[in-house]
Amino acid sequence: MIKYSLICDQEHNFEAWFSDYDTCEKQLKKSAVECPLCGSKKISKSIMAPNIPSKSNQKAPKSDVKKVEMVMNKIKKHVKENYEYVGDKFPDEARAMHYEEKEQKDIYGETTVEEAKDLIEEGINVQPLPSLNPKSKN
């Protein structure tokens, strides 16, 4: 898996994981990547720099952690309000919609890392997120 820094046409910066370079390029060309903040599909790679801390115990500044928490909470709220929860049926539902066996709709649920990789390799647009299970306290 490769993590890329991305930016949308509204100048929102975010990160996304892809199985490899080619998968990233294909999904960007197909406009299959969506900004988690505004929904724009006009996405490009942004400048990346390696994170090399000066000390092995260096932590992210608290202000950065708070910003990330705020963004993640906004994403969670947006997904819970606008997507249908399908639980552990997520891989089956995503495939059925991808192969036009079911009507397209926005869904979220759970899957294993291996299953998520398989979905990505099939060209199915998925985005791993922290737990959004309605029963979860996170």
Task: Give tens-digit pLDDT for 19-37.
Answer: 888 999 999 999 999 988 8
54 assigned to some structural domain: no
Domains in the chain, number: 2
Let me know whether 12 and 42 are in one domain. Answer: yes
3-state SS, the chain, equals: CEEEEEEECCCCEEEEEECCHHHHHHHHHCCCCCCCCCCCCCEEECCCCCCCCCCCCCCCCHHHHHHHHHHHHHHHHHHHHHCEEEECCHHHHHHHHHCCCCCCCCEEECCCHHHHHHHHHCCCCCCCCCCCCCCCCC
d(CA 8, CA 63): 23
Q: Looking at 55-59, 92-96, 97-101, 126-130, which range is the least confident one?
A: 55-59
Q: What integer pLDDT is reported at residue 93 of this predicted model?
A: 95
Supply the mean pLDDT for the chain: 83
Domain assignment present for 31: yes
Quick: pLDDT tens for 47-80: 766 655 555 556 656 667 788 888 888 888 888 8
State whether 106 and 86 are in the same domain: yes
Residue 53 domain-assigned (yes or no): no
Indicate whether 87 and 136 sit together in one domain: yes
CB 104 within 8 A of CB 94: no
Q: Is residue 52 part of a domain?
A: no
Could you tell me if 75 and 135 lie in one domain? yes
Domain with 121, as residue range(s), is: 59-138
CATH of the domain at 6: 2.20.28
In this structure, the answer to whether residues 136 and 69 fall within a common structural domain is: yes
- Examine residue 28 and state whether it is found in any structural domain, yes or no: yes
pLDDT of residue 138: 45
Specify whether 134 is located in the same domain as 86: yes
22 and 64 assigned to the same domain: no
How many whole angstroms separate alpha carbon 8 and alpha carbon 42?
6
